[in-house]
């Protein structure tokens, strides 16, 4: 009888973790620039206020990621982000924002799953992941409301 096959859990290497955290930092900076541009362009006060809140949350995410990268001996990427080209309507902007949040959800979950020896970084990425899920849920419901307006 053959031995049952042993499978190894995914285990990200230290350089893969730092690369992932810096990719997340870049995405957070992009999100700050995009939410800021969308808030400025938005004529609906309630949506504008929500977009400004999201922008501020993403800024805080970026600061926490940079601190964690430094604590792990890495160098946080420093290039600033410019807002992406503005779509034609509020629904277009929110759809772009939702796409960015969906990327973050998948990427942060990948890091949470694959970081095996560093509970503090897992905790950070779990908190950020929960925030991004909430952002995505708000974007989805707001897009639905716009579609039925």
Helices (H) and strands (E) in the chain, counts: 4, 0
> Which residue stretch of 37-45, 74-82, 107-115, 128-136 sits at the interface with Fe ion (rule: CB under 5 A)?
128-136
Of 43, 136, 33, nearest in space to 85 by CA: 33
- Shortest Å, Cβ 126 to Fe ion: 13
Interacting residue with Fe ion among 34, 36, 58, 97 (CB under 5 A): 58
Q: Are residues 20 and 104 in contact, defined by beta-carbon separation less than 8 angstroms?
A: no
**Orientation angle between helical segments 14-41 and 119-147, nearest 10 degrees:** 30
34 lines the binding site for Fe ion (CB under 5 A): no
Q: Which span sits near Fe ion by CB under 5 A: 3-11, 25-33, 63-71, 106-114?
A: 25-33
When the beta carbons of 68 and 135 are compared against Fe ion, the nearer one is: 135
- CA 95, CA 130: separation in Å to the nearest integer? 19
Site residues (vs Fe ion, CB under 5 A): 28, 58, 61, 132, 135
């Amino acid at each position: 009888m053959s031995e049952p096959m042993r499978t190894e859990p995914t285990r990200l290497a230290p350089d893969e973790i730092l690369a992932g955290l810096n990719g997340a930092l870049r995405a957070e900076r992009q999100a700050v620039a995009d939410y800021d541009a969308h808030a400025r362009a938005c004529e609906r006060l309630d949506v504008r206020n929500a977009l400004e809140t999201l922008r501020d949350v993403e800024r805080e995410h970026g600061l926490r990621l940079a601190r964690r990268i430094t604590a792990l001996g890495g160098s946080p990427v420093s290039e600033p982000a410019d807002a992406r080209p503005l779509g034609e309507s509020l629904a277009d902007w929110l759809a772009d924002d939702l796409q960015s949040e969906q990327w973050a959800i998948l990427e942060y979950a990948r890091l949470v799953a694959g970081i095996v020896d560093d509970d503090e970084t897992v905790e950070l990425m779990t908190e950020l992941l929960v925030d991004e899920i909430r952002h995505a849920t708000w974007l989805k419901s707001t897009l639905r409301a716009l579609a039925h307006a």
